[in-house]
Amino acid sequence: MNGIQLLCIRVKQNWTYQYKIMKSVVDWTVFVYFVIPLTVITIAIYKSWWEELPNWIHNISFYWIFIVFFLFFWGNHFRTYVKEADSIFLRKNEVLLLHMRRWGIIYSYIYEIVLLLFSFVFIAPFWFQHYGYNLHQLLLFGGLCLSIKWVIMGIKGKLNVEVTGWRTLISGIPLLLGTILVWSFCYQAFINNQIAIILGITITLTIVSIILIWPRYKDNHRLEQDLAIDRFEKTKIIDMIFSLSMDIEKMPKRYSSRKSPVTFSKSGRIFNRRTPKNGFLELFMKVNARNIQYITGYFQIIGITSAATIILPPMWLKITIIIAGSLFLLSWINSLWDKILGNHPFTKKYKNEEGYFAGRKQLTIVLVIPFVIFISLSMIFNIWIRSKLPFI
């Protein structure tokens, strides 16, 4: 067995693992009644775009193509498909391990190319018919996208993927700002048809990505970092499913050995009036404030819904997103309330009390108010920016 054959086995095992995860989420009823109809509708809509462009595309500036593909940069690493046992068994065969890791990096390069090609198939009707660009310019644009993403993947490969929280945010800010500056410069060069500059940027960034990945390519001394990256990439989908589902019990996280929590350390009373409803609300507020996952989930719902109302052009689609976001928020609040109070050993015996339902109703009203405010501000901002920038 050589390195390519071993890599093919590992890649097949990885795709089988991801397939089992998706299969556990999308059962046959969801597949038959949702996935298949959605696929058929998507193909029919895409075919209609080639025959006649939708009206909403005339309000979309070419600048939004660059904004959408900016999101393409974030995600994925250069993977080598190593496993924990490789540090013991394959250490006896350094050449086989090194060849597999090298072909894994090459596979990561090719995978990003294929992924970008699928994205180009989606935007092809607008690229050729609406914006009037040709295939040569599409290839130049693809080179820019790939080179920037490869550099970001190379930089992320040097960061500790197991570090989370505020440290990840701090380490990611310079990378985000640098990418915005480079991508903005690329946009100006592209719309001005500066082919030499575009080629120069693409070649330079591709070489930079090779330099960044070269230490992992040439030897087996960075096996621990490769193992961390492989664990992160292998489980990121199931981690996302777990974080979105309130019915799945999360794995316990390691906390610092503090004698008291940061928030409500003295556990004082929040409400002076002691009623069953206030008791439930007070307990919920303290538990929720001490767990950043719950707070983050709430702001993610608001942020995603607000961003969708700004970015998506058709009004009917904005309204659909707002309705879906509202229903999801209500479901999320009820699930979180039941998870914290309804399933806890000390409070679940009171879940049929009037105060339990009164507290949940008041909490729902309080949490829905910021949601409505942010959505309203998003709609106002959308109307304002379109009045100032009619080409958007």
pLDDT at 113 over 90: yes
**CA distances to 215, 256, 309 from 253, in Å:** 32, 10, 34
**Lowest-pLDDT range, 97-111, 228-242, 369-383?**
228-242
Q: Which residues of 102-122 are buried (b: 16+ CB within 10 A; e: fewer)?
A: bbbbebbbeebeeebeeebee
> Which residues are CB-contacts of 369 (< 8 A; sequence separation ≥ 6)?
none
The predicted model scores a pTM of 0.65
Tell me 26's DSSP state: S
- pLDDT tens figures, 73-95: 887 888 888 887 777 776 677 88
By the 8 A CB rule, do 133 and 37 touch? no
By the 8 A CB rule, do 232 and 161 touch? yes
pLDDT band at 278 (very low <50, low <70, confident <90, very high): confident
Report the 10 Å Cβ neighbour count for 194. Answer: 14
Taken in order 273, 279, 281, 285, the sign of the CA dihedral is positive
Which structure tokens are listed for 238? 């199931």
Instruction: Give the dihedral of Cα atoms 23, 29, 32, 37; nearest 10 deg.
Output: -100
- pLDDT tens figures, 21-43: 777 766 677 677 777 888 888 88
What is the number of alpha carbons within 13 Å of residue 121 lying toward its C-beta? 9
- pLDDT tens figures, 290-323: 666 677 778 888 888 887 777 766 677 778 888 8
Tell me 129's DSSP state: I
Report the 10 Å Cβ neighbour count for 47. Answer: 10
The average pLDDT across 246-274 equals 53
